[in-house]
Structure 1
């Protein structure tokens, strides 16, 4: 773009910008806004071969398994230990020669080359070994395993009954004794979720979930006995709950963790369900005291649990700020003995096909020079005077010069999620971004600031967008929008 045309394009884009969250809040049900771009509305409409890939630490890994299970075209799936990055840049490692895989796929389906790209298992996935909890990993130890199809004939759903604070053995009946069969209750504080990490991790410290023991303090917890032998799971665990609540709008978050003998708890996977969506269609308010049954599907995973470790299921009624909390605190009462945890168990010792990948390849990165150092921060704070708690996140890439074109690029994102005590109407999320581009005496930057708050009846969005050429502000727009809560 040369001359003045860049300025016209920039202003056109600024005029068309706005806070995405406003549009999302206006569509709190699965209406045409969401359905028009969803493959699941008609899997038969997909008539081309599919190579689907993601990572277990990403937010989109479920899309891979759903495609493999539902489309009726030639298909392959690949899920590594990665976060939201391409597999040849995969973090946590190991990274793989993903670009070579993609070229082989296109050579076969676009050029007709018989290169064996459809040989081997339908799904190749990284079976992760147990690791201590950490907010970032360089590598995830494990191995590649393959499944011939999904659902896989080698994976058995094994159901475990839930008793008073423990996970029972398959087929076990509830033991008799004092308290047997009595409901187990939980009303989680808003602090549950501070160590949940990002929905779509970039493996940027510290956006993976940390030790879950503090989270478990505000949760209803079920532990297995120490495992007598190694257990491997591959797929989506499910939790079937029989329950009552005392409010018309409620949610439940279910977390599955690997608990080491020293007590350290590493989250393996999780799932969140708005309980007003039990009917399968439009949401309906819950009747306090009425007994319901819900199935909570957790995100897919591939995880090994070593002997001596425990499997832990944790249930909470909020998971803030990963999920926006309901309008009021909710007391959830779970019926033990009538509730189960089902794990997708892959037999240990099942021979794995020899799966290997070439070494990662990519073009040589552009020559750059760091002009300002990046900054990463994730701080949890709690004031015991006014009971205000906060999660503060800074992700600043610094300033980088691209030497060949003399362009300096900078990006800084600051997020804050705060609340007071257990006042569900006090939750507040704020995201402020600055993007800047400089070359010689030419300089532009945009600054956005978006705040989301709520009360029992509405969401409130306050947002600003400012654009600068040099120090002159050339564009400015403010938004103040309220949207009614729709059983959320």
Structure 2
């Protein structure tokens, strides 16, 4: 059921927020399969909940995968003892207030509690996205050879000039393998959390756009999206993007990623195939993150066409991927970054206080 329609709507939270009367304590992790949905649920309950109580819902977001606060280590990063929270105790406070009437002060606290990675500290907020967000587009640059981490791909707030495009071949029979990310629920098969992407970034079908080393800290906290101007020689294909924190020692730690299927470029309710060779604008939703890129680190965006098995492969034929299709085609992909086609990532930069 690839389309959002009658099959999915009855079980979708988005169809029922206006009926909710109970207050909810939303718990999530930046690397949880439901990280974005957790924020959506909290926002919509506070906006559309059908009672004053529902509109007092709260949220906590840690540096955790699905399963929440079970270890200070997520993926390949140790976030420190401070990252751990006794969520059972937090739940108990919540239920003691609402079910027993205990005046324990929980509603006197800000409704949003975030663990900001990089600095590895907790911070309380009142809204999402944060009201003080400075939305900054960081543009892709290259001289036409952004393939691999050793290519000439750049990333900066400066608009691109008339630069050559980048290209690669996407073969569904040799997809980019998933390494970390917002996965669930078999980490021994597909690991979750931040992982070093350097081996992934050695592939010719992975474009890497990397900033210069940062002179100071850059906090990126909020929803992330990539605006991509791209063309394929097939009727349908996929486009993926990944935000990466590159450490001074070269480790390329994944933060968040996303995908868009070309046929669903205008939403999941309707689909239309693309015209081969035509440049389209795609928005890739990378969900959410709360991370400080420290001084000396670099910001990187990977672009490709697969992330398997986190996402199913597009076979590039234009047929529905129903699990029974056996035909497949190699797609020749072109990513543009020029004055006419300014591909970029939109970063929610939080000004230093």
TM-score between both structures, scaled by the size of structure 1: 0.59
> Within 2, Cα distance between the matches of 1:108 and 1:42?
25
Q: Secondary structure at the match of 1:295?
A: strand
Larger strand share, 1 or 2: 1
Matching of residues 91-102 of structure 1 within 5 Å = 92=74, 94-102=83-91
What do residues 167-212 of structure 1 show as CA deviations (whole Å, max 9, x unaligned)? 122xx2324xxxx333222224525225346712666598135321
The structure-2 alpha-carbon separation of the partners of 1:56 and 1:193, relative to structure 1 and needing over 3 Å to count, comes to same
1:173 corresponds to which of 152, 159, 180: 159
Contact 1:249 1:275 in 2 (8 A): yes
- Which residue in 1 is equivalent to 2:331? 330
Q: Secondary structure at the match of 1:80?
A: strand
Matching of residues 418-429 of structure 1 within 5 Å = none
2:290 corresponds to which of 271, 284, 302: 302
Contact 2:239 2:304 in 1 (8 A): yes
- Which residue in 1 is equivalent to 2:40? 66
- Which residue in 2 is equivalent to 1:146? 124
Q: Secondary structure at the match of 2:31?
A: coil
- Which residue in 2 is equivalent to 1:235? 222
Larger radius of gyration: 1
The answer on 1:193 being equivalent to 2:177 is yes
- Which residue in 2 is equivalent to 1:450? none
> Within 1, Cα distance between the matches of 2:247 and 2:73?
24
Larger deviation, residues 316-325 vs 194-203 = 194-203
- Which residue in 2 is equivalent to 1:274? 261
The structure-2 alpha-carbon separation of the partners of 1:309 and 1:91, relative to structure 1 and needing over 3 Å to count, comes to closer
The answer on 1:224 being equivalent to 2:202 is no
Specify every segment of 5 or more residues in structure 2 that has no aligned partner in the other structure, as ranges: 48-54, 75-80, 143-152, 316-328
- Asked which structure has the greater RCO (Cα within 8 Å, sep 6+), the reply is 2
Give the number of equivalent residue pairs: 306
TM-score between both structures, scaled by the size of structure 2: 0.80
The structure-2 alpha-carbon separation of the partners of 1:232 and 1:105, relative to structure 1 and needing over 3 Å to count, comes to same
Instruction: Measure how far apart 1:106 and its partner are.
Output: 1.4
Contact 1:79 1:125 in 2 (8 A): yes
1:215 corresponds to which of 180, 200, 207: 200
Specify every segment of 5 or more residues in structure 1 that has no aligned partner in the other structure, as ranges: 1-26, 130-140, 351-488
> Within 1, Cα distance between the matches of 2:246 and 2:42?
31
Contact 1:248 1:285 in 2 (8 A): yes
The structure-2 alpha-carbon separation of the partners of 1:315 and 1:300, relative to structure 1 and needing over 3 Å to count, comes to same
| Runs of 4+, deviation exceeding 6 Å | none
Contact 1:84 1:202 in 2 (8 A): no
The answer on 1:184 being equivalent to 2:166 is yes
Contact 2:138 2:346 in 1 (8 A): yes
